[in-house]
Amino acid sequence: MSTTQRPAAEQVVLDAVPKQLYIAGEWRDGAGGETVAVDDPATGETIAEVADATPEDALAALGAAHDTWYGGWRDSAPRDRSDILRRAYEAITDRADDLALLMTLEMGKPLGESKAEIAYGASFLRWYSEEAVRLDGRFTMHETGSGRLLTMKQPVGPCVFITPWNFPLAMGTRKIGPAVAAGCTMVVKPAKLTPLSMLMLAKILEGCGLPGGVLNVVTARSSGPVMEPVIRDPRTRKLSFTGSTEVGRKLIAQSAERVLRVSMELGGNAPFVVFDDADVDDAVKGAMVAKMRNVGEACTAANRFHVAQPIADEFARKLAAKMEGLKIGRGTEEGVGVGPLIDEEQLEKVDELVQDAVAKGARLLCGGERVAGPGHFYKPTVLVDVPAGARLLEEEVFGPVAPIRAFASEDEAIAAANDTEFGLVAYVYTADVKRALRVTERIEAGMVGLNQGFVSNAGAPFGGIKQSGIGREGGPEGIAEYLDTKYVALATD
C-alpha cells in the first residue's frame, strides 16, 4: 500500500506525528541528516521516515537533561509535576482512538489491543501524578535520645531509558511517569521498529506543559553505538531498559563502569500451570489472555503449559479450538484477533522453534505454519506431547505458540515451572486455597497470576528475578527506583 493509497484516517494520524529528534524542547533533524524507515508489519510497506540520531545527538540530549535537572527541575514543585502528568493522562485518554490506530500501524496488533495498551499506558501517568505529591521521609529520635534522624527522598537525576517495540507507549509511560513524578530528567531511545508512539507521546507531554529538556527523545537505526557513550557519560545517573536478557547483560556491564543505578525488565519464559481441580474452561480463557495478548509478543506471555495429566487432553483440545477460531489479518480490520509478528526475523524464529519441536516428536493440534502472502503472519499454534529438549520450552517464543506438557504431581509441576533461567511471571490455576499458597510461594518468579491470565497493573510492582531482571516498575516500588535516600544526623545537645 503506497502513501497515496493509504486510507485518509490513517494518513491523518501519521502526519500528526513528529519525525524529528526531540532535544531540549526542540524538534530537530539528526546531525547526520539520515533517516530510519518505519514499516507496517501487516503489509511490509514503509509508513514513515524518522530521524536517525548520531552519538553526538544522544550526548546533546543528555546535556539537555543534565542542564534542565540542575537548572531547576529537580527542585520543581511536586504539585506542578503532578498536574503535568494528570493533564497528559487526560490528553492521551481523549486521543485514544488516534493513538491506537498509530500503534496498530507501526506495531501490527489489533485495534482493540492497541486501545487497551493506550489505557494501560495512560494509567501510569495518572498513578504517578498521585504519587508525586506523596514523597516523604521520616524524622525520629536517636535510640540514645541524644539526637535526631532525618531522612529525605531526592530525585536520582538524569536517566537513560531504552524501550522495546512490543508495547511502544506503555513501556515509555511506565518509566516516564515515575521519573517525572520524582523530579528526574531523561533521554529516551525507543525501538527503531516502533518509534512513532513515543514521538507522539513526547508531543503530547510538550503540549501539557512539560518543560523542554525534561524529556528528550532520540530515534536511531542502531541503539548500541548511539547509546553507549551516553551510558558511560558521568552525567547519567540511572539506566532503565526493557528488552532481551542478552542485551540487558551488555548494558549492565556498560553501566558498571559508572556504578549506575539500573532497572532491567528482561526476558521471560512464563509457565502456565493447571492443576486437576481447576475449572478447565476458566483455565482455557485465562490461557488465551496470557498467550495471545499482543500476538504472544510479550515478556509476560505464557510460554510453557504444564497441565495435570487427568485434564491435559481436554485442556489442549479446548485451547486449540479457541486458537483456531481467531481471525488473522491486519489489525485495522474488523474482528481480527491475530495481527502480524513484528518482522520477518521474528516470524522465522517462531517457525524455527515450532519445526524443532515437531521434529523432536511434538504433535500439532492446530497451526504450525506461516500465512501465505504479504506481512509477517503466523497461524495460532498448539502442540502436545512436547518432549524435553525442545527449544521452545527453553527459549522465549514471542509468538502465538502454545506447547503443552502433562504432569503427574504437584512437585513435578513446580519443578517443571522453575526449570528455566528466567523468573518474570508464572500463572497458576487451582481451586484449592492451600495448594495456591504452597505453589505460589515455591514458584520462582517475580509475579504470579493466580487463576487469571493477566498481571499488569499500574499500581503493582512489575518485575522479575533470576535472569529476568532487576528492580520494579509500577506501584510505590516503581517510583522508589527514581529516588535516592539521604540521611541527616541532627545534634540536639
Contacting residues for 135 by C-beta, under 8 A, at least 6 apart: 78, 153, 181, 182, 479, 483
> Residue 349 falls within a domain, yes or no?
yes
Q: Do 296 and 332 share a structural domain?
A: yes
Q: Do 7 and 61 share a structural domain?
A: yes
As given in the structure block, the three cell numbers for residue 316 are 489442549
Q: Do 162 and 287 share a structural domain?
A: no
- H-run or E-run covering 264: strand 261-265
Containing domain of residue 274, as a range? Answer: 270-458
In the predicted structure, residue 2 carries a pLDDT above the cut 50: no
Q: Do 86 and 211 share a structural domain?
A: yes
* Distance, CA of 316 to CA of 47 (rounded, Å): 39
Q: Place 378 in a pLDDT band, splitting at 50, 70 and 90.
A: very high
* Distance, CA of 421 to CA of 430 (rounded, Å): 25
* Distance, CA of 293 to CA of 13 (rounded, Å): 24
In the predicted structure, residue 469 carries a pLDDT above the cut 80: yes
Q: Do 329 and 242 share a structural domain?
A: no
Q: Do 315 and 256 share a structural domain?
A: no
Q: Do 475 and 336 share a structural domain?
A: no
Q: What is the pTM of this model?
A: 0.96
Q: Do 479 and 360 share a structural domain?
A: no
In the predicted structure, residue 129 carries a pLDDT above the cut 70: yes
- Judge whether 69 and 158 are in contact, CB under 8 Å: yes
Burial of 44 (0-12, 13-18, 19+ CB in 10 A): middle
Please write the tens of the pLDDT for every residue from 238-249: 999 999 999 999
> Residue 493 falls within a domain, yes or no?
no
Q: Place 41 in a pLDDT band, splitting at 50, 70 and 90.
A: very high
Cα 394 to chain centroid distance, Å, stands at: 21
> Residue 463 falls within a domain, yes or no?
no
Q: How many CA atoms lie within 13 A of 490 on its CB side?
A: 12
What's the domain count of the chain?
Answer: 2
pLDDT (0 to 100) of residue 4: 47
User: Rounded to the nearest 10 degrees, what angle do helices 96-107 and 8-15 cross at?
Assistant: 90
In the predicted structure, residue 3 carries a pLDDT above the cut 60: no
pLDDT (0 to 100) of residue 151: 97
Chain mean pLDDT for the chain? 97
Average pLDDT over residues 102-128: 98
265 part of the active site: yes
Please write the tens of the pLDDT for every residue from 49-83: 999 999 999 999 999 999 999 999 999 999 999 99
Angle at the Cα of 386 from the Cα atoms of 388 and 417, rounded to 5 degrees: 60
Q: Do 189 and 100 share a structural domain?
A: yes
* CATH code of the domain in which 125 resides: 3.40.605.10
Which of the following is catalytic: 10, 113, 265, 396? 265
Q: Do 198 and 104 share a structural domain?
A: yes
* CATH code of the domain in which 344 resides: 3.40.309.10
> Residue 262 falls within a domain, yes or no?
yes
> Residue 315 falls within a domain, yes or no?
yes
Q: Do 230 and 340 share a structural domain?
A: no
Q: Place 1 in a pLDDT band, splitting at 50, 70 and 90.
A: very low
> Residue 154 falls within a domain, yes or no?
yes
> Residue 168 falls within a domain, yes or no?
yes
Q: Do 288 and 177 share a structural domain?
A: no
Please write the tens of the pLDDT for every residue from 301-359: 999 999 999 999 999 999 999 999 999 999 999 999 999 999 999 999 999 999 999 99
> Residue 492 falls within a domain, yes or no?
no
